[in-house]
Amino acid sequence: MAAQLLIINGHDYSSYIQDDGYDWSRDDLDSEKTVRVKTGDMRRDKIAEKRNLTYTMRDMPEALFAQLDEDLHEPFFQATYHDPHGDRTRTFYCSQLPGKLRMIIDGSNLMWGNISFSIHER
């Protein structure tokens, strides 16, 4: 698959990702057992790694933006994306989805822009 890959709950938004790509990060989660010892060294108890992805989207028709809103509104959802280790499908959540009504075409076809959001692995 292409590097510009975003499928959420079976809906493909890949072609709406801005040309400059998306931001990717891996965050480590440590348990409360992670501490610094007397020497100053860290004794680490890493319990998980989580992915965080941030997307900026091209303008999209209102019906597609509504579908994206429904997909991201779920408490948790499946997303397929391109990771440095290949295409991956993981469970994510999203807490914010801003957008701006950009233009009205022919009085009924609405386009939304300034759409950006982050999804965080469960």
The reply to whether 11 falls in a domain is yes
CA distance 66 to 85: 31
The reply to whether 30 falls in a domain is yes
The reply to whether 32 falls in a domain is yes
CA distance 41 to 8: 42
The reply to whether 24 falls in a domain is yes
**Model confidence at 2, in pLDDT bands (50, 70, 90)?**
low
The reply to whether 96 falls in a domain is yes
* The total number of structural domains that make up the chain: 1
21 CB contacts (<8 Å, ≥6 apart)?
3, 4
The reply to whether 113 falls in a domain is yes
pTM: 0.84
What digits encode the pLDDT tens for the residues 44-102?
Answer: 889 999 999 999 999 999 999 999 999 999 999 999 999 999 999 999 999 999 999 87
Domain that holds residue 12: 6-121
How far lies 21's CA from each of 9, 12, 14, 83, in Å?
20, 15, 10, 12
The reply to whether 115 falls in a domain is yes
State residue 72 phi and psi, 5-degree precision. Answer: -80, -15
The reply to whether 1 falls in a domain is no
- How far does Cα 111 stand from its chain's mean position? 21
Tell me: pLDDT of 24 over 70.
yes
